[in-house]
Structure 1
C-alpha cells in the first residue's frame, strides 16, 4: 500500500516536471507556434527591450472569422507579470487605434503617420498587454461571411472572444498559469463583463480553467436607463444645455430605450447638440481636432446615445495641445496602419481585405443586432464570484459621464467599506474614490472618455493600484 502510494506520487511529480519543462521551452520559443507572430521591428519604431507579437486567431472556421491581436510584453521580467487584455468599444472600434496607439500601449504615432515614439506611461511597464480587435470586422479582424457585418451583437462577440482567449492561450501556453485581467472602456462595459460570464461558464466545465482574476473598465456603458438619465443630468449640470432643452429631452425621449428614433426626440437631440456647440463631447474641456486633412471623424461612431448625434466637430484652426494631449491622434493611426510596410511587419491584412483599415466600422455600429439592456446582473455574478472589480470614470466625458456610472452602480446597493475620499498623485488631487464590498469606484479629475489618453499619469496610477489590489493613494 505504501509502495503504491509512493509510486503514484513519483509519477505525478514526473508529469509535473515534464509540464514545467514544456512551459519553459514554450516560453523561450515564444509559445507554441507563437514565434511566427513575433514582430521584428515596426516601421519607424524606436528600439525597445521587450518582445511583441501580433497576428490572427481563428474563432469560427465555418464562417471564416478571425480576430487580430497585438501582444506587447512587459518591459522587464514579463514572466513574473500578469496578462492584461484590453478592449475598446463602439461597438465596432479598434483596440489597436485607441488602446494601443493613444492610451495604454508602449507606442504613440507621429503626425502624418511617419513613425512611432515611446509612451512613458505605458501599462506594459507593469503588465503584459494584449490588445484585441473585436468583433470580426473591426480593424484587421475579418470574416469571410459578409452577412456577419450585419448580424454582429453582444452574444456572438462574447462567444468569439472566449474562443479567442482559449486558442490564444494554446498558442502562448506559458501564459496559462498567469493571472489574467480584462480591461477596457466605453462599450467594453458590455464586452468585458459578458466575456467574464462566458469564462466563468467555461471554467465550470473544464479541468483547465482560465486564470481570470478581475476586471477594470472605464467610462463604461452599464445600464440603458441610468446611463441615459445620467448623461442628460451631466449635460445640464455642466451647462452644456439649457434648462428648457433638459426638460424637453425628458419629455420627448424615452430614456428606457436603447435608441429613440421618434421625430420629437430627434429634433430635441439635434437642438441639444446645437446648444453644446463646437466641442469634443468626449472631452468637454479639451481642444477639438482642427486637422482639415483628417481621414476620419474622431469619436463619431464610438458609442450611440441619442440617435443621429455626431460627437465631434472639425474646426479649421490651429491645434492647441493641452498637457501633451493631441485630439487628432486617431487620424495618424488611419495613415500608419494603412501603410503596406506596417501591415507586413504586423502580420496583418494577410487575406487582403477589400476595404481600408479604419478606427471604427460604421456598418457594425449601425447594424448591432443584440445589445443587453443592463449589465448589472453580470456585476452581481462577478461580485459573488469574488473577482476584483474596478470601475473608473473620467469626469470630463459627456458621452458616458460620471453621473451615468454612479447612477448605474447605485442600483447594486453595495455596502460601503471606505467612504468617498480624494486620491492624490504628486500632491495633487487625481480624482475621488469610494470602496464598496466587492467593487471599487474611482474618478479621474479632468479626464475625458479616454482616461489614459487625456490624463496618462493618473491612468497609470489606476492600473498600478488595481493590479496590486491596493486603494488609490490618499494624500
Structure 2
C-alpha cells in the first residue's frame, strides 16, 4: 500500500525523468487550521490541495483516503474525495463516480448510495460503515462537478455536458500525476440520472483524448477506460418524454394517470413536444433546445409529476424521506468541513450550475448517438434502472437501449429478459450481448444502490471486471 509521501516522491521522480523541462512542485500549507498537501501539476497547470486520512466516513483500519480540491482553471476549484480499496488497493481498479442534476453533488452517491459510509436504515447523526461500499473492490474517486456543485467553488465555465467534459479530463490528468500508482489501472466511469448525458460524452471525450495522445498530437496521460455504467440515466428526450406517459400508465406498481389522460398527454407530445425536440435536433441552437425543454416539461413532465407520488420512487408519496438527507446536515457541520478540508459550505444541488445548462437547452439534446459510439468502442457498458423510479424510468431507458447501434444490436434486441439473481435470489431481469448489458432492478427507486446495495455491488463488480452481467 502506497503512503502519501512515497506517492509524492514517486511522482516527482517520474516527471523529473520523463519531462525535465516540466517540474511538478510539492509543498504544505496550513489554512484555517487545516494541514493541506499542495501539488502543482506542471503539464496541465492544475493544482491539488488536499487533506490526508481525515478519519471521516471511511474508518476501516488501514484504508487511506484523501479529500480536497483540484484547481482545473483560474479560480476553478473542483472538490474530490478519494478512497482506497478496502481489499488489494495496490492492484484494484480505479472508478470515478459522478452524480447528475445537472449540478448535483457526488456526495449523494458517496453517502446515500455506494460510498464507504451511510445513513441509510439507521438512526442518529453519525454515519456507519457501508458493508456494500464499492470501495470494497475498487479505488473510488467522487467528484463534485461542474464548479459550484457540492463543495466545489469558484468560476463555473461549464454551460453544457460537452463543455464540462474537458474539466473532468484535466482533473484526472492531475490525479494521475499526484497518484501515479493508479495510472495503468483499469478505469471505470459510473454515473446516474443526468449521467445519461455525462456518461456517454465524458467516456467519448476520454477516448478521443487517448487517441490524440497515442498519435502524438496531445501530451497527456492515457485514461485506461474499460467500463461505463449508468443507472436511471437521461439519454434521449424524444424517447424518454414519451416514456413518461407510457410508464405512468403501465408501471408495475400503480397507475399514475388514466387511459384518457394518457391519450391527452400523447396528443400534446405529438403536437407540441416532439416537434420542438425535432427543431432542437435539426438546428442545434440554444434557443431552440431551451424552448423544446420548456415545452416538453410544461406539457408532459410537469403536469404528471404533480401527482401525489415521489418522482424518484413512485411507490412513495411526494417528498419521501428515503434515502435520508441526514448526510447534508452532517457535511454542513463546521467541524466535519474542517476535518475533510472543505472550504465551501455544502450545497447538494445548487441552482447556479443547473441554470447554466438550462440556458443552452442541454437537457433537450440527445446523447444516444454518442452512447452508440462508446458501445462500439469495445468497453464494457452497463445500462441499468430501478423499476420504481419515475423521473428516468425503466420504460424510457429500455426504449433508449433498443436504439443503440453496435455490432450485436440484433442479438441484443431479440434477446428476452432473464432473471438476474444474487446468491440465488432474484433481484431483477437482464440481458446482454457483446459488450452491452441491461439490468432492470426490482423494488428500486432512482438511486439503485440505496435500495438494492448487494445487487448493485455485484453488477458494479462484474462490469468493472469487463464481464457481461451474470447471475450468481
For the criterion TM > 0.5, the same-fold answer is: yes
Name the CA shift for 1:210/1:229 in 2 (closer, same or farther; >3 Å): same
Matches of 1:399 and 1:176, distance apart in 2: 36
TM-score, structure 2 length as denominator? 0.78
Q: 1:334 aligns with which of 301, 320, 328?
A: 328
Residue 443 of structure 1: aligned partner: 440
Please state if 1:106 is matched with 2:116: yes
Is 1:406 aligned to residue 438 of structure 2? no
Q: CA deviation at 1:23?
A: 11
Shift of the alpha carbon at 1:419? 4.3
Which residue pairs with 1:8 in the alignment? Answer: none
Q: Does 1:128 align with 2:146?
A: no
CA contact (8 A) 2:188 2:225 kept: yes
| Corresponding residue of 1:54 | 67
Q: String of CA shifts for 1:251-290, please: whole Å, max 9, x gaps.
A: 224343364545x97376555344x31x2121122x45xx
Q: Which moved more, 1:439-448 or 1:369-378?
A: 369-378
Deviation of residue 109 (structure 1)?
3.8
Partner of 2:172: 165
Paired position in structure 2 for 1:343: 337
SS of the aligned residue for 1:80 comes to: coil
Offset, 1:444: 0.8
Instruction: Name stretches of at least 5 consecutive residues in structure 1 with no aligned partner.
Output: 1-21, 289-311, 315-325
TM-aligned CA distance change 1:214 to 1:59, over 3 Å:
same
Residues 223 and 408, structure 1, Cα contact 8 Å, conserved in 2: yes
1:75 aligns with 2:57: no
Instruction: Tell me the equivalent position of 2:47.
Output: none
Show the counterpart of 1:248.
264
Q: CA deviation at 1:74?
A: 0.4
Which of 319, 331, 350 does residue 313 from structure 1 map onto?
319
Partners of 1:373 and 1:401 in 2: how far apart? 18
Helix, strand or coil at the partner of 2:85:
coil
**Corresponding residue number in structure 2 for 1:229:** 242
Cα contact 1:45–1:115 (8 A) shared by 2 = no
SS in 2 for 1:57: strand
Cα distance in 2 for partners of 1:211, 1:474 equals: 27
1:86-145, Cα deviation, whole Å (9 max, x unpaired) = 00000010001x1100100001148797322111110111101100101001011112x3
- What residue number does 2:190 align with? 183
For the residue of structure 2 that corresponds to 1:280, the secondary structure is coil
CA distance 1:273–1:204, change in 2 (3 Å)? closer
Conservation of the 8 A alpha-carbon contact between 2:195 and 2:230: yes
Contact 1:224–1:255, Cα closer than 8 Å, also in 2: no
Structure-2 change in CA distance of 1:213 and 1:469 (3 Å): closer
1:360 paired to 2:329: no
Assess if the C-alpha contact under 8 Å between 2:237 and 2:365 holds in 1. yes
Cα pair distance change 1:45/1:406, threshold 3 Å: closer
Q: Output the CA distance in 2 between the equivalents of 1:268 and 1:419.
A: 30
Aligned residues: 403
Normalising by the residue count of structure 1, what TM-score does the alignment of the two structures yield? Answer: 0.78
State the secondary structure of the residue aligned to 1:78. coil
Aligned to 2:375: 383
Structure 2 residues not aligned, in runs of 5+ = 13-25, 28-35, 38-49, 215-220, 278-288
